[in-house]
């Protein structure tokens, strides 16, 4: 759903009626929507990306941020941008790392899930061959120059601004009720006159999250990590 539709719905159907001078501005609502997006993308498997790590000379630590030259954060989105998601294996092999890197728009990671390569190397997070030193840094103590490692992770959601009114929010429609309830609870936090409404919004949010998990509309973070489905570079 487009951002402008979401703002209208929140004002008209979610937030309590307030006078004009108390009405939440676009800037404030968009700020809270972005906070809510990050929360939902963190606690649920809304979207999973495949990062590609190129092991270079004397490197064993890699940061899952845009500025690491040896990490492609979003190979799925990069191949989609290049219209190569349905390419054959041979075509994928011909892709250069730098070509994918140049078309990678993913900014960072919320959570690293699992790693693998094409040599059947065992990778067990924080136990065998791969260790997380920070939320977005991995250490591969036994990797050798020339190795390519594929890492499944949760990428940052696409945040929105006032210039994105006609853009779809980075969230499936079946999770919008969770977004509405969480946004309402954040907007009314600390406002005494909205105390009862705030508590109801929190309860609604918790109920919506439980419903989503129960119906399997998305996955909890403690479920088995999804397998890496596509190898875009070898």
Q: 112 by DSSP, 3-state: which?
A: strand
Containing domain of residue 173, as a range? 3-44+161-215
Within a domain: 191: yes
113/197 same-domain check: no
Cα distance between residue 218 and residue 226, in whole Å? 12
Name the pTM for this structure: 0.80
Please tell me the predicted confidence (pLDDT) of residue 76: 85
123/200 same-domain check: no
Within a domain: 106: yes
Tens-place pLDDT, residues 79-123: 877 765 554 444 444 467 888 898 899 989 999 999 999 888 999
Tens-place pLDDT, residues 174-225: 899 999 999 999 888 877 777 888 888 899 999 999 888 877 656 444 333 3
71/114 same-domain check: yes
97/137 same-domain check: yes
Neighbours of 222 (CB within 10 A): 5
68/150 same-domain check: yes
125/58 same-domain check: yes
145/173 same-domain check: no
* Phi and psi torsions of 152, nearest 5°: -85, 135
pLDDT at residue 230 is higher than 80:
no
100/171 same-domain check: no
For the segment 131-152, the average pLDDT, to the nearest whole number, is 94
DSSP string for residues in 26-51 = HHHHHHHHHHHHHHHHHHB-S--EEE
Structural element, H or E, at residue 202: helix 195-215
96/190 same-domain check: no
Domain count, the chain: 2
Distances (CA, A) of 83 to 39, 92, 148: 30, 11, 22
Cα distance between residue 43 and residue 67, in whole Å? 25
């Amino acid at each position: 759903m487009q951002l402008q539709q979401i703002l209208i719905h929140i004002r008209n159907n979610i937030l309590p009626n307030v006078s004009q001078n108390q009405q939440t501005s676009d800037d404030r609502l968009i700020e809270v929507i972005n906070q809510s997006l990050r929360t939902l993308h963190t606690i649920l498997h809304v979207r999973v990306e495949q990062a590609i790590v190129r092991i270079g000379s004397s490197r064993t630590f890699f940061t899952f941020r845009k500025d690491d030259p040896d990490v492609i954060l979003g190979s799925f989105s990069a191949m989609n941008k290049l219209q190569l998601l349905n390419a054959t294996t041979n075509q994928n092999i011909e892709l250069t790392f730098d070509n994918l890197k140049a078309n990678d728009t993913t900014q960072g990671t919320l959570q690293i899930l699992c790693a693998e390569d094409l040599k059947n190397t065992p990778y067990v997070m924080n136990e065998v061959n791969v260790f997380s030193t920070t939320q977005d840094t991995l250490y591969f103590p036994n990797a050798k120059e020339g190795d390519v490692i594929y890492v499944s992770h949760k990428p940052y959601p696409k945040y929105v601004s006032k210039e994105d009114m006609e853009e779809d929010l980075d969230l499936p429609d079946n999770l919008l009720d969770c977004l509405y309830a969480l946004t309402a609870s954040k907007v009314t936090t600390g406002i005494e006159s909205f105390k009862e409404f705030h508590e109801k919004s929190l309860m609604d949010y918790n109920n919506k999250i439980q419903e989503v998990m129960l119906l399997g509309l998305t996955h909890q973070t403690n479920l088995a990590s999804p397998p890496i489905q596509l190898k875009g570079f070898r």
